[in-house]
Amino acid sequence: MADMTMKDLSDAMGDIDFCMLSTKTEGGEIAARPMSNNGEVAFEGTSWFFSYEQARTIGDIERDPKVGLGFQGRKGLLRKPPLFISVEGHARLIRDKAAFEAHWTKDLDYWFKDGIDTPGVVLIEVKAERIHYWDGQDEGEVPVR
């Protein structure tokens, strides 16, 4: 699978829930934290994450919306190598409850006790600008629309 398509990538990401979201801090350092994609595994170049307004992540994105996502999938069972995916993208902060509803899953209630009405909730949209993958011996770029 040397030339992975967006559909191939989406299929391969089907069981990946968490990734590392990297931002640039006010001092120019890189800050990374685990984020759940909320079960939205039909990846088509956009990822969605929820956070709190007061989180460092939000301030970092407001200053510099360029972010990185790092995914790792497939346990190396039966000699099958893991899949690594690096996404460079542009983040946008959304504070609209209708958008929250469109991307909310019940599992998020664990972190946000009042659901979409939890004070200070922010939706982060990351649109991929570049996607690189490593799949055993294969590696390459996935075209972004």
- The Cα–Cα gap between 137 and 103 comes to 35
Going residue by residue through the chain, which has 145 residues, state the pLDDT in tens, using 9 for 90 and above. 458 888 888 887 877 888 999 999 999 999 999 998 766 666 788 999 999 999 999 999 999 999 999 998 866 556 677 889 999 999 999 999 999 999 998 889 999 999 999 999 999 999 999 999 998 888 999 988 7
Q: Is the pTM of this model over 0.85?
A: yes
Residue range of the domain that includes 49: 6-137
β-strands 121-135, 66-73 pairing: unpaired
- The Cα–Cα gap between 99 and 124 comes to 10
Assigned domain for 59 exists:
yes
Number of compact structural domains in the chain = 1
- Residue 65: HSE in the Cβ half-sphere, 13 Å Cα cutoff: 13
Assigned domain for 144 exists:
no
Look at the block and give the residue holding tokens 């996502």: 69
Assigned domain for 143 exists:
no
Assigned domain for 91 exists:
yes
